[in-house]
Chains A and B, each alone.
Chain A
Amino acid sequence: MTFKRPNSAGFLVLAILAGLCAVALVDPALAQTAADATKDAAPAAPVPNKGDVAWMLTSSALVLMMSIPGLALFYGGLVRTKNMASVLTQVFAIVSMIGVTWTLYGYSMAFSDGGSMTAYVGGFSKAFMHGVDGSSTAATFSNGVVIPELAYFVFQMTFAMITPALIVGAFAERIKFSAVMLFILLWSTLIYYPIAHWVWYVAAPDDVANAAKALAAATDAAAKSAAQAKLDSVTSSVGWLAGAGALDFAGGTVVHINAGIAGLVGALIIGKRVGYGKDLMAPHSLTMTMIGASLLWVGWFGFNAGSNLEANGTTAVAFVNTMVATAGAALSWLLCEWMLKGKPSLLGICSGAVAGLVAVTPASGFAGTIGALVLGLVVSPVCLFFVSSVKNTFGYDDALDVFGVHCVGGIVGALGTGILVNPALGGVGITDYTNITGNNAGTYDLVTQMIAQGKAVLATLVWSGVGSAILYKVVDVIVGLRPSVEQEREGLDITDHGERAYNY
Chain B
Amino acid sequence: MKGKKLKSGEIENALNRFLKNEQHLVLGFRKDESGVSQQIFKGNIDNYSLLNPVFGSNAALYLRRLFSKGLKVMLMLRPCEIRAYVELHKLTQIEREDIIAVSIDCPGTVSSKEKKDVVPTEAGQLAEYFKNSDSMRWACSVCSEKRGVVGDAGIRIDKANNYWIIPYTEKGEALLSDIEGESEEVPAEMLTPKNTKMDMFQVDMATFEKDFEKCIMCMNCRDMCPVCYCIDCVFHGDEYIPKGDALINKIFRSGSTKMPQGKELFHLIRMYHVSQTCVGCGACEEACPQGIPLTKYFKGVSERLQSIFSYMSGRSFDETIPYVTFLEDELKDATD
The answer to whether A and B interact is no
A residues within 8 Å of B by Cβ?
Answer: none
B residues within 8 Å of A by Cβ?
Answer: none
